[in-house]
Structures are given as structure tokens and as C-alpha cells.
Structure 1
Amino acid sequence: MKRLVIKVGSAVLREDTTLAINRLNNLVDFIAKLKEEKNLQVILVSSGAVAAGNTKLNLDRKKILNRQALAAIGQPLLMKYYKKRFAQHDIKCAQMLLVAEDFDSRKRSENAKAVMEILLENDIVPIINENDVIANEELLFGDNDQLGAHAAYFFDADMLAILSDIDGFYDSNPHENKDAKILKIVNSIDDEELQMKHTPNSEFATGGIVTKLKAANFLMKRNKKMYLTSGFDLKNAYDYLLYDNHNSGTIFQKEN
């Protein structure tokens, strides 16, 4: 593996009314390790702008214009923390704000790919978020799981790793069944599972397990892999992505 997209969700990056700085720091430390020890090019898809903005201004997040205003406040705050922490590892980072239309337009997607290659060739960590400040609802992905999947495909990554408040895909609902077990390998996803109701666990999240399954399905159809694990405790992410030991979390991979 040479190129990895890591997507981290809002639930991981927020703690009560503040940014979860410790978890953000742990994430950056992890990326620095991947770059240093595995010589990986890492693209980070980061949620958290709305949550970061809400720490400065309390608005009704159900209204899209309010969410866009909070994102406008929060995005530079988020980048400020990332920039500071990456600098401690002597790593530079850059911001890329994208919408769904950027991948639908051949000219725009080719331009984004060209910029991405320049950043990665110069050992810079691109940090992608959805440009939801100015885009209307029709142009939005609506959740960064889909953005992460598109980034992994269009930017030629070997894998998408989603670090979430969901630590894997279970054989049944773990909130309802205490005997539910994580499926370590998933080779196909049923249409019924893709049509389930979205159930994000955080008031700041826009996804849930369904958006992750849709992201996995998008990539599997294109012969790409996805890994889903916890972003709260990065032990399983270290085990698999750094040390090649798949102890937990779910790998979505089309059967050859």
C-alpha cells in the first residue's frame, strides 16, 4: 500500500462543547507514524467544522444555513489545530474543500487530481472537507463517508480507512443484541442494508452505519478496499494499518 485516505468523523473530533483535542492529537501522531514507518502518502478527510464552529456560536444545526455558517467559523479553527500539531512532526498540511460536483465534472476532477499529486509529491498532508459553506444542498455529498470514498477512488488511493464512533460492522445491532459480533471481512453488501434508515450517533454527525456501507459499496464496485474501525481508541487502526495485524474492525473487500 502506497496511498491511504483516512476519514475521521465529527463524533470523534468533538467532546461535549469543545473539540476533542486529545483525539485530534492522537490522529495526527498516527498519521505521522504511517508516513515515517510505512512511507505512506496520507490524505485526511476530516469532519468537525460544524462542531468546531458551534464551540464559538450556538445555532440551531437543523437549519442548513446555520450549519453552513458554523462550518465557516469552524473550518479555520480546525485547520489551526491540525497545522499546529502536524508542525510538531515537521509535517506540512494543506486544505482542500470539495463538493460532489467537483468529481462529476471531468475538468474539475482532473484539476483536483493534479493539485493533489503536487501536494503528495511534496510530502504535504492534504486535509479535505466538504465545501458546505457556499454549496447548495443539491451539490453536497451530505456526509464525509461518501466524500472519503470518492477521494479514495479519484485520487488513486489503495484504501479508505474510516475512523468512527462505530468500531466495525456487526452481524446484528450491537445496541440491541449483546452477542453481536464484528464481521472482520465483508465481501458484499445487500441492497436492504444500503436502504436502512440513517442513524448517526452524534447530533453533529450526518452519517451512521448506512453511509459507511454506501461508501464501502462504492469502493468495492471499483475494486478498492475500505477499513472501518474506532477513532476513539486507535489500537485496532495501529494494529492493522501500521503493523498488518487485523485483530478487529471490518475490511470491506470485493472477493476475487
Structure 2
Amino acid sequence: MDRIVIKVGSAVLTEKNEIAKDRMMNLVYLISKLRSKYEVVLVSSGAVAAGYSALQLDKTKQIGKKAIAAAGQPILMSSYKMMFDILHIDTAQILLTEDDFDSRKRTKMFQEIINAHIPNNILPIVNENDISSTPEQLFGDNDQLSANVAQAVDADLLVILSDINGYYDKDPSKHKDAKLYKVLDELPEGVLDECATPNDPFATGGIVTKLKAADFMMRHGRKMFLSNGFDLEACEAFLMKGEHTLGTLFLPKGEGKKEKKKDKKKKG
């Protein structure tokens, strides 16, 4: 059975500083279906956005963000637990920092925890440990965290669910003629040097951090799929049926031509 890591962002999970219950439930149902075909690890943002409803401090300040995250983590996890309980799926929370991937012992411990959870039908839910870590210990965004998680747990695919349909040749909110890249095995020159511009005030990424995650996966010989988390239809079709309607598939260098040939055969 293939192993996948699914990362979901704050923009998808929260709305007006509260858990977007319908969208979270849709994600929970999708993960339930996917577990019949894949071993699944979930990387979830949303603690800071959820915590802001209980504690409205200045999140631009380090202590404010930490305090908000501390309030938000139980809100986020209790929401997940309540919804996964409906489908009889047990969950576990794992909080990590960048340091956990710099130490062989700590990385091995994380790998062993994941490998203990999955065979026992437990869904691991990973988030960055904003609370007890220094800025130097943090990735700063869960896109890059999820790529490192995917590499560490030997996942076949990273799926990032966001507020966009995929990666375009230009900003689709500003340009009507923007074209979606369906398959890429090489990133356009200079895109990783651009500034992160998240659409949501509680998000820490934007398209640049997703491209950095894709670059990490591609360099390590792994795949990434960027898809819309508001409407999970395209993601489900891709993962369950192999139908690629929307979303961008990032492949290791040289594999793009093979994938395009497969796509043409299916259409033919």
C-alpha cells in the first residue's frame, strides 16, 4: 500500500477565526476513503487561526502567536477528534520543529512513531510546534514541514490542499488568461526567489512556500500534488481514480514527458 502525506492549510480549515466545520468534515470523509487505498499521514495548519477566536493577541509578535497557538491546538484537535470519531478513526497528535529533522535520533523516533500508529489504524496528525520552540527551530510554514515529513516517512506522494486549483503561469486572480500547469518536472526560473504572499491573514505561506515544498520533493525523487481544498472533487478523482482534471502534479526531473504521454493515451 502506497503512503501519502496530506497537508491542509489554515485558509481551508478556518473562516472568520473559527473552524470551517463543513470543509473540515469534507476533508475527514476524503481521508476516510483514501485510507482504503493508502497509508495516510495528515499535516494540518489551523491552530493559530482557531486560537484567535479565544485569545485575540497580536499574532505578529512572537509571544502573541505562541499564546494563540497554545489556545488553538486543543480547539483544532478536538474538532478533528469529534469528526474522525464519527467514522471510527482514532487520531494522534505529533508536534515537530525543524530540529527534529536535523537529528538522526529524533528523526528515527518520529519515523518509529508513525510506523507504530499506521498499522494500528491510527491517523497521525502533524503540526509545527510553535509553542515551545525558538524562531530558529521552526520551518515557519507547514508546506515545507509537510515536505520534510513526506521525505522522513518515505511517502510516495505529498498532497497540498490550498485555496487555489494548482500552480498557474501567472496569478489567476489578476489575469483571466492564466493557464494551469498540470504537470511539471522543473520549476520556472526565479520563482523560488519571490516573496511569499498568503491570501489568508493567518496563513504563513502562499504559492512560494508550496513551490519550495515541491522543489524539495522533486530534488528527493518524490512527487507532489497541489490541489484545491475548498472543493475536494479533483483531489479525490486524482487519488482514487487516477483522473487528473485540475491540480498540478510535480514530478522528479525527467518524468514529466512520461506522465504527459500517459495522459494522452488515457484521452485517446
TM-score range, shorter chain: over 0.9
Distance 2:109 2:165 in 1: 35
Find the counterpart in structure 2 of residue 208 from structure 1.
206
Counterpart of 2:48 (choices 38, 47, 50) is: 50
Counterpart of 1:183 (choices 181, 184, 198) is: 181
Supply the AA of the counterpart residue of 1:84.
Answer: M
Fraction of identical pairs, as percent: 50
Deviations for 1:96-139, whole angstroms, at most 9, x for unmatched residues?
A: 00000000101100111111100011111000000010100000
Extract unaligned runs of 5+ from structure 2.
Answer: 256-268
Q: Relative to structure 1, is the Cα distance of residues 191 and 63 closer, same or farther in structure 2, using a 3 angstrom cutoff?
A: farther
How far is 1:229 from its partner? 0.7
Find the counterpart in structure 2 of residue 16 from structure 1.
16
How many aligned residue pairs are there? Answer: 254
Find the counterpart in structure 1 of residue 6 from structure 2.
6
Distance 2:62 2:23 in 1: 27
Tell me, yes or no, if structure 1 residue 114 matches structure 2 residue 112.
yes
The question of whether the paired residues in 2 share the 8 Å contact of 1:50 and 1:70 is answered with yes
Extract unaligned runs of 5+ from structure 1.
Answer: none
Please give the secondary structure, in 2, of the residue aligned with 1:248.
coil
How far is 1:248 from its partner? 0.6
Please give the secondary structure, in 2, of the residue aligned with 1:198.
coil
Deviations for 1:62-105, whole angstroms, at most 9, x for unmatched residues?
A: 11211111110110111101111111111101000000000010
Distance 1:17 1:32 in 2: 26
Supply the AA of the counterpart residue of 1:101.
Answer: D
Please give the secondary structure, in 1, of the residue aligned with 2:198.
coil
The question of whether the paired residues in 2 share the 8 Å contact of 1:166 and 1:209 is answered with no
The question of whether the paired residues in 2 share the 8 Å contact of 1:41 and 1:123 is answered with no
Deviations for 1:227-251, whole angstroms, at most 9, x for unmatched residues?
A: 0011011111111012210011000
The question of whether the paired residues in 1 share the 8 Å contact of 2:184 and 2:250 is answered with yes
Taking only aligned residues, the RMSD between alpha carbons, in angstroms, comes to 1.0
Normalised TM-score (structure 1):
0.97
Distance 1:191 1:150 in 2: 23
Find the counterpart in structure 2 of residue 248 from structure 1.
246
Distance 1:184 1:30 in 2: 22
Alignment of 1:86-97 (within 5 A): 86-97=84-95
Distance 1:194 1:9 in 2: 19
The question of whether the paired residues in 2 share the 8 Å contact of 1:4 and 1:43 is answered with yes
The question of whether the paired residues in 2 share the 8 Å contact of 1:34 and 1:242 is answered with yes
Tell me, yes or no, if structure 1 residue 29 matches structure 2 residue 29.
yes
Find the counterpart in structure 2 of residue 139 from structure 1.
137
Counterpart of 2:64 (choices 58, 63, 66) is: 66
Supply the AA of the counterpart residue of 1:35.
Answer: R
How far is 1:170 from its partner? 0.3
How far is 1:191 from its partner? 4.5
